[in-house]
Structure 1
Amino acid sequence: MLSSEKRDPAAGPRLLLSVLAIILLWPGIQLSELNVSVLVHPDSTQSMGSFLESFWPPARDKDFLTLLLAATLQTLAIATAGMSLALLLAMPASLLASRALSFSKVDQGRPGTLGECVRWLARIVLILLRSVPEIVWALLFVRAVGLGPTAGVMAIAITYAGMLGKVYAEIFESVDQRPRQALAQAGAGRLAAFCYGVLPGAIAELTSYTVYRWECAVRASVVMGFVGAGGLGQQLDLSMRMFAGAEVASMLLTFLLLVLLADQLSRLLRKRLA
């Protein structure tokens, strides 16, 4: 029997939290109507097996590969253009939403009333932008500008501006503020204090998160293709409706390569900026 000195003092609270988590999780499972047993039902396994069997071998005829290349390039263009517009919106919004970048906090030890109001307004705008899923924005823009990649670009720009702005603001606040405070107290301007006191310490994390979000934007552009926003998603929707499993397999492999590309790009940039 273990002595009281050898017992983990946190074992009781951990066990209590685990039990509470299970109690709270169970109603969620019931509401989601989760039923894993349906996956092993003979009818389900036979249906999935026949569907997956049609994936091999992947389509590789010249005409389809030409169409696949054009759709892939369009998907990359949608994601990149949408992220570029999102960055243009997110960077100034993150500066407004970040309390750590307020000079009044450095000079007076507390944020000013006007600055606090501006920060809350910026945060509310960012919440509104990211609270609506990008596919809903895509549906709205498809109605406004018609079918095509423009709707996808605008949907990604709006949704990801809210996501990037929130995380950028948190990254700026988490960086060591002493270099910026020293520059501010030495007479440096607001922009100079930010560029030389905050940005160097945050650039690696900002780059990593931005590349990750670009990868998410690629996936989102594929999903939005199902509502007519162009790219791989639209072609994937057509192939699935025609039960062309070989074409679907080729597009899924292409999508896998895109994700691997984004992962390698993120690693390369982090090494360069470390």
Structure 2
Amino acid sequence: MNTIPALADAPHTPNGHQVISDGGPSRTLRLVLGFGALIAFIQSLFVIEAKPEDLISGAAGMADMISRAMPPAVDQLPSAMWPALETIDIAIFGTFAGVFLAVPLAVLAAGNVSPARPLYYLSRAVIALCRSVPDLVWALLFVAAVGLGPFPGALAISIHSVGMLGRLFSEVIEDMDMGPVDALTLTGATRMQVFTHAVLPSVLPSVLGISLYRLDENIRSSLVLGFVGAGGIGFQLLTAMNLFQYKTVSVLLIVTFVMVMLAERFSAYLRRVIA
């Protein structure tokens, strides 16, 4: 049998296996992209007015602030527990609500399973809107609507999570194997049956993994939302900073660090269990 010329001329590995090009970017394209990235970085230095010498000259002020924060006010630790719990619960509520709202939007926004093009574009627009408005802005809006406290923070995390999760979930659905979907469709199954018996089982591991990542991110985000009055330990941290209570600030930062690390480890453990 004759060898195909294109394969016969292909380079070989030391073991005799042929190496077939993967169609990746050429060397010239990689150089152009690298040069473009370098130019983008250099221009950013001018736009942000980067002045490393100011950071060096201001190191003494930073050191003075750190020295005034030592030792941490451990007697304030009990009063930090409730705001810390608020912060975690804001993230939990926001993640669960975000997943609950993002899943149906993602199904409508996935081109391979969306029932109609108008619904596809509408759901894409809703997801983009939720994602494009920062969670801090959502928090300000909800604080104006329902007042100060953890509830507006939870609502802000929920809406922003819908945007981020909706986009990721829709991409997972679009990349799924359509074989089971086509098979069920040919048997006359309803859209709900196709979703529950073909789409959901195929994407569930990825959806759970993404949701856990989002929970990890939401805990960090909920810390910042306290700066605009949305509850949690962030609000207590801002209050201590405004009152120049740096020893209280240091103990709150320690609590925040421990909380974030525990949430990250727990999230990683759950992802391993799911995988």
Q: What residue in structure 1 maps to residue 7 of structure 2?
A: none
Say if 1:231 and 1:190 are closer, same or farther in 2 by CA, change over 3 A. same
Q: Which residue does the alignment assign to 2:17?
A: none
Residue 26 of structure 1: aligned partner:
42
Quick one: distance in 2 between partners of 1:185 and 1:77?
44
Aligned AA for 1:48? M
In structure 1, what is the Cα distance between the partners aligned to 2:187 and 2:261? 46
Match of 1:210 in 2: 211
Alignment partner of 2:89 out of 77, 92, 100:
77
Shift of 1:205: 2.0
Match of 1:58 in 2: 72
Report the counterpart of residue 109 of structure 1 in structure 2.
Answer: none
Residues in 2 aligned to 1:257 and 1:206: alpha-carbon distance in whole angstroms: 27
In structure 2, how many angstroms separate the alpha carbons of the residues matched to 1:205 and 1:250? 37
Q: How has the CA–CA distance of structure 1 residues 185 and 258 changed in structure 2, closer, same or farther, with 3 Å as cutoff?
A: farther
Quick one: distance in 2 between partners of 1:36 and 1:144?
Answer: 42
Q: What TM-score, normalized to structure 2?
A: 0.84
| Structure 2 residue aligned with 1:49 | 63
1:126: Cα distance to partner?
Answer: 1.0
> Percent identical across equivalent pairs?
37
Conserved 8 A contact 2:107-2:170 = yes
Structure 1 CA distance, aligned partners of 2:155 and 2:267?
24
Gaps (5+ residues) in structure 2? 1-10, 12-24
Task: Work out whether residues 169 and 207 of structure 2, in 8 Å CA contact, stay in contact via their aligned partners in 1.
Answer: yes
Structure 1 pair 196–256 and aligned structure 2 pair: CA distance change class (3 A): farther
Q: Which residue of 1 aligns with 2:238?
A: 237
CA contact (8 A) 2:108 2:120 kept: yes
Contact 1:60–1:250, Cα closer than 8 Å, also in 2 = yes
Residues of 1 paired with 2:255 and 2:186: CA distance?
A: 53
- Tell me how far 1:10 sits from its aligned partner: 4.0
The answer to whether the 8 A contact 1:212-1:262 is kept is: no
d(CA) in 2 for partners of 1:273, 1:200: 13
How far did residue 140 of structure 1 move? 1.6
More divergent stretch after superposition (17-26 vs 161-170): 17-26
Aligned mates of 2:183, 2:273 — CA distance in 1: 27
Count of paired positions: 252
Deviation readout 1:61-82 (Å, 9 max, x if unpaired): 1xx2221101111111212122
Where does structure 1 lack aligned partners over 5 or more consecutive residues?
104-114
TM-score by length of 1: 0.84
Check whether the contact 2:209–2:274 (CA below 8 A) recurs between aligned residues. no
Residue 137 of structure 1: how far off its partner (Å): 1.4
| CA spacing shift, 1:203–1:264, aligned 2, 3 Å | farther
Deviation of residue 191 (structure 1)? Answer: 2.4
Deviations along 1:166-209, whole A, 9 cap, x unmatched?
Answer: 11111111122222222222333322322332323322221222
Tell me the C-alpha RMSD between the 2 structures: 2.0
